[in-house]
Structure 1
């Protein structure tokens, strides 16, 4: 098969564009990882230890902070970024993953005795399994124009999770909050933004250290 000049030129242009996208995308993802990591550490210090693992080189990390202070034993902070370094996969990821994702898991000292969940309507294509869903009540709540399905045992648990939602700088960026009884964790899935990350983490930490420590006593 003869390769024409036009085909060769097209291949060279694609190779150049892929290389340019790789270096620009890698630089941006590295900058985002550094920013998201630096932004939260002032709220977590002093911590006893930190374990840090890169995910795929340029697409995120998992950091585990052993706090053992206030109502927080451990905070896990996992960031997954869109593959901005890949010219071919990046457009596909905008359709599949849609946005960068931040997963925050807090392991508190206080005991979570009832499951409570808030899931943004329409976010999941296939909703994850919810512990004890069959016995939980369900209600639709709109918070600052964003609709959530709330699963709960007691009515006051609805207000607890709605108050947590309201404390975030952008409610629309919060996709799923779960207070899980069996694992005794607070779980938050959200879309991170560089300008909001400090306020978002502050909201989670303040919630665990104040509201959560008292809520499940009765």
Structure 2
């Protein structure tokens, strides 16, 4: 196929745009990573920390040893959209939709009962919940969004609902759960630079006050 001057010019323009997007997108993602890392660390105040780079400008995983109040460990994984890629970024908006923050809090108190709130329509492939056949189910509304509640006792879901309603943007939380088998408090959410500190503060307070006191730990 013979390249015309128009096609060649088009290729050169796309190459230039891709190069510009790479440097701008890389800078944006690096700034986001630094902001989230700094903000979360300042709130959690770990006694020890470990970071794992996920490669490129995708994000990182952090493991914090806290050993304070009711929190033994605070772990999170941040994955960012590929803003540095002119061509893949639009595809990622359709598939991944947004940046993601996966939080796992490991308390000292033993979680005795299972409870989940899952935003309706969020998952394309439903997560595997081992005890799902044994859990009660109902649909509730939080912050104008519908959530599927799975629980052993209703008061557990009411407490998770109250936590979501206390957050600056409740709809950013896609899945929140307490799992006795692994003894973890788990949150999958869309992080935002403006609200990340308050979000993390509320999660820590919930683990320190609500999980420690019950209903989950007794």
Q: TM-score, normalised by structure 2?
A: 0.97
- Give the Å deviation of 1:131: 2.3
Measured against aligned partners, the alpha-carbon deviations of 1:119-165 in whole angstroms (never above 9, x if no partner) come to: 00111111111120000001111112111111000121121111111
Residue in structure 2 matched with residue 10 of structure 1 by the alignment: 10
3-state DSSP class of the match of 1:179? Answer: strand
**Counterpart position of 2:66:** 67
**Structure-2 change in CA distance of 1:106 and 1:217 (3 Å):** closer
Deviations 1:36-58 (A, max 9, x none): 0111122222x221110111221
1:18-77 CA distance string (max 9 Å, x none): 1001000000000000000111122222x2211101112211111110001110011111
Query: Secondary structure of 2:146's match?
Result: strand
How many Å apart are 1:207 and its aligned residue? 0.2
2:159 is the alignment partner of 1:160? yes
Aligned pair count? 217
Unmatched 5+ stretches in structure 1: none
**2:93 alignment partner, SS class:** helix
Contact 1:152 1:158 in 2 (8 A): yes
- Structure 1 segments of 4 or more deviating over 2 A? none
Report the equivalent of 1:48: 47
Q: Is the 8 A contact 2:211 2:217 kept in 1?
A: no
Preserved contact between residue 143 and residue 170 of structure 2 (Cα < 8 Å): yes
Kindly provide the CA deviation profile for residues 175-218 of structure 1, in whole angstroms up to 9, marking residues without a partner as x. 00010111000110000010010110011000000001111344
Aligned partners of 1:131 and 1:180 also within 8 Å: no
Residues 77 and 102 of structure 2 are in contact (CA less than 8 Å); yes or no, is this contact kept in structure 1?
Answer: yes
Provide the secondary structure at the position in 1 that maps to 2:110: coil
Q: TM-score, normalised by structure 1?
A: 0.97
Superposition pairs of residues 1-218 of structure 1, within 5 angstroms: 1-45=1-45, 47-215=46-214, 216-218=216-218
Asked if the contact 2:49–2:65 (Cα under 8 Å) also holds between the matched residues in 1, the reply is yes
